[in-house]
Amino acid sequence: MNARINHQQLLRFAGLLSWIMVGIPLMYAGWQGFDQSGLSPVSVFGWTFSYLAFGVLYLLVSGRLNIYRHGWGDSVGLLLLTVFAISVSYYSETALGSMLLTVIAGILPWLLPVRAGSLWLVIGHLSVIPVFIFSSTGLTWWEAFLQSLLYAGFSTFVFVTGYVARQQAAAREEQRRLIAELRAARALLAENSRVGERLRISRELHDLLGHHLTALSLNLEVAGHLTEGKAQEHVRQSHAVAKLLLSDVREAVTEMREGCAIDILAAMAPLVQPIPNLDIRLSADSGLSLEDSGIAQVVLRCVQELITNTIKHARASRLELSLQKMDNLLILKSEDDGVGVDLVRLGNGLQGMKERILALKGQLLIQSTPGHGFSVIISLPMGE
């Protein structure tokens, strides 16, 4: 599959193509003249309006397909699509509306659970039976039922295809999330290994080379008092070199210890990669680093949870993250443009995030209002 086209887009294009094909017989009938078909002007207006309304509404509904939760607007759109499809059959006195119900079957698994979607599919096709009976075709109840059953069979195939596509999209999203978490954990592990190695080398330099140089400097100082003449001058020069070397070692140890900080932005980079349908923007202080690996791990887990919640629940198109140092505090802010909620309830993810923050004596502030998104502010003490 082309990486630029996802499952939702493929289903959308296939549905639009089917909608266009359904309109060809109707346009042909109009070209031949509706007087010959026996349709009244009201019927012509009815199927034309229903057909065009179906296409426009399908564009809107299929553009919002998501593997996670859906709002009441999607259910209303699905109901109107079904009504318009049946109206096409009613006003045109054909089975073209059943073809449009087949188009709807492709997006049903994305909008409803499997059982509810299956029930919706069956009821939709059964609703066309009266149209077949009272139309100019004059089908009997049994013939209308068989006709409806035929299209229901095609719709079932399309429904299963849409369900498989949704399952694959969910597996793909889960794989993307796990890979991002793995890369972030690997980056943090690499940073911890680098910091640990620098600390080990600095300790070795201080404990071994530093102590030996200190002993050498003391012995040379004593030798300077015990020698005279030309030998004393060489001893003093050696003493000066030993003190200079000891100073260089101490300076090198200090620089290595000061460089033992974790590049938190490099560790966060895999988590904030571009995600379909969500624009993630990260702003942070230039060269931001953390000396405490525990704080770095909590920051990564919080960012991971915030992104996951935004994708699953917020129905947002943009997520803004910021990470800054203020005095002795590390401030992590998150704000999305999603639907928001009246009352914030902590699920397992947010509760776990809160527990991690409290374990470091930090604070968590969550704010949300309907229509104004979801914002989170996390403050973690970094010590002196």
Is 185 within a domain? no
CB 204 within 8 A of CB 249: no
At residue 130, what is the residue type? Answer: P
pLDDT at 6: 64
The DSSP symbol for 269 reads T
The DSSP symbol for 326 reads E
Distance (Å, whole) CA 227 – CA 100: 107
Q: From first to last of its 384 residues, what are the pLDDT tens digits of the chain?
A: 444 556 677 888 888 888 888 888 777 666 655 555 556 677 778 888 989 999 999 988 887 777 765 667 778 888 999 999 999 888 887 888 888 999 999 888 888 888 988 999 999 989 888 888 877 666 788 888 888 889 899 999 999 988 888 888 888 877 877 787 777 777 767 766 666 666 666 666 666 666 666 666 666 666 666 676 677 666 666 666 666 666 666 666 665 555 556 777 777 787 787 777 778 888 887 767 777 777 888 888 888 888 888 887 777 778 888 888 887 888 888 888 877 777 777 777 788 888 888 888 888 888 888 877 888 888 888 754
Give the Cβ contact number of residue 275 at 10 Å.
Answer: 17
- 302 & 223 share domain: no
Is 1 within a domain? no
pLDDT at 11: 81
For 181-187, which contacts have Cβ atoms below 8 Å and span 24 or more sequence positions? 181/270, 181/271, 181/304, 183/270, 184/267, 184/268, 184/269, 184/270, 184/271, 184/300, 184/304, 185/300, 187/266, 187/267, 187/269, 187/270
The range of the structural domain enclosing residue 155 comes to: 7-173
Distance (Å, whole) CA 211 – CA 207: 6
- 14 & 139 share domain: yes
- φ and ψ of 68, to 5 deg: -105, -150
- 27 & 152 share domain: yes
- 250 & 286 share domain: no
HSE-up (13 A, CA, CB side) for residue 356: 19
- 316 & 360 share domain: yes
- 267 & 214 share domain: no
- 297 & 236 share domain: no
- 92 & 229 share domain: no
- 150 & 292 share domain: no
Distance (Å, whole) CA 383 – CA 329: 8
Diameter over CA atoms, the chain: 131
CA distances in angstroms from 202 to 33, 189, 210, 289, 357, listed in the order given = 92, 20, 10, 19, 31
Is 340 within a domain? yes
Residues whose CB falls within 8 Å of the CB of residue 176, separated by 6 or more in sequence, listed in order: 275
Last-in-domain residue among 226, 258, 290: 258
Last-in-domain residue among 173, 205, 239: 173
Is 93 within a domain? yes
CB 365 within 8 A of CB 303: no
- 12 & 155 share domain: yes
- 98 & 127 share domain: yes
Q: Which residues pair with 324 in a beta bridge?
A: 331
pLDDT at 3: 45
The pTM for the full model equals 0.65
* Cα dihedral 102→104→106→107 (10° resolution): -170
pLDDT at 207: 60
Is 91 within a domain? yes
And the tokens for 84? 């318009």
- 233 & 251 share domain: yes
Last-in-domain residue among 216, 242, 258: 258
CA distances in angstroms from 11 to 19, 32, 173, listed in the order given = 12, 33, 17
